[in-house]
Amino acid sequence: MEKSIAEIAGLLQAELEGDPNLTISGLAEIDTAQSGHIVFAENEAWFARAEASEASAIIIPRDIKRGKKTVLKIDKPKMAFGMLMHIYAPPLNFSKGIHPTAVIGTNAVLDDNVSIQPYAVVDNGAVIGKGTVIGAHCYVGQNAVIGEKCILHAHSVVYARMRLGNKVILHSGVIVGPDGFGYVEHNKKRVKVPQIGIVVIGDDVEIGSNTTIDRATLGETRIGAGTKIDNLVQIAHNDLIGENCIFCAQSGVSGSTKVGNNVIVAGQAGLGDHVTIEDNVVVGAQAGIPSNKLIRGNQMVFGAPARNADDMKKQMGAQLRLPKLVEKVKQLEEQIQRMETLLEKIPSDR
């Protein structure tokens, strides 16, 4: 695909400085860019690299002065570059209709323009919304409801009675709705507690490969609209996840935890059960939040147990000073020992 830089400026509503007739044939990273490519730079250091690259044009913040290359100035270069990627990305072409090898259950309802790929199974009573794609070897359980314009990539699973909103994307290996991890002890044995709730996933949610979202024991496990979940994430039974959250790879959430809106949980962070996290919190990588903990909104926490970032930095700074402190204490002890030895040599008054 080729577009003039002037066309791109119009699409992004960006300020163009340079040759308006320049043709852009693709997008690239700065280090691999060739003639005809456009790149983005968010700061002066990146801009210097971009200027030295083979790229033909650069998307930059408005406060950076243009160099020798044609530039597009915009408030958020990375977001603008992402919008361009939607335009230049090769489209996913899914054949419409039901593949002959797919299995469609009794009373299943398939809306217009659905695509049911090879060996997919849509079980009895399931509902598939308009324009949705069910990939190869997917399973949609009995009476599950999948909204419009969803994409279930190959080998993803939606258990019976689960509910997905519109424009939900499940990548390969996602499992929505397995039993929550519920057991009680009886006579020194673990007895399974039936998990009879459901999972409800809001609109425009994207879930990465091999992530699992457990059904509720009773009621709902809920993922709010706009939330994005990375690969290899565990969401346990009865968790209530807010809107526009981000969960990075290998993070995990124990049961009955409530997460507010616009929360970021970084890689390998762990949330205990019955935790409450208010809006606009960032949980740092490998942080551990103990069970029943309340994390107030609008802050960053990290560490194990997780604490406010400013407090943790002070604590870590103090820990780094400990070796010098130990050495200082040792020196003081030696001084005291020498003083005591000297005092013992002084004759006492009689």
Active-site amino acid positions: 237
Amino acid at 32: T
Two tokens at 195? Answer: 């998990």
For residues 237 and 195, the answer to whether their CB atoms sit within 8 Å is: yes
- DSSP state string for 278-307: -TT-EE-TT-EE-TT-EE-SS-EEETTTTE
CB count within 10 Å of CB 323 equals 9
Query: In 10 A of CB 62, how many CB atoms?
Result: 10
Among 229, 289, 240, CA closest to 264: 229
Alpha helices of 55-194 — where are they, by DSSP H?
Answer: 77-88
- Strand pairing of 270-271 and 57-60? unpaired
- Half-sphere exposure of 149 toward its Cβ, with a 13 Å CA cutoff? 6
Order of strands, sheet of 139-140, starting from the edge strand that comes earlier in the sequence? 103-104, 121-122, 139-140, 157-158, 175-176, 212-213, 234-235, 252-253, 270-271, 288-289
Contact call for residues 182 and 190 (beta carbons, < 8 A): no
Collapsing DSSP to helix, strand or coil, 223 comes out as strand
Half-sphere exposure of 14 (CA within 13 A, CB side): 32
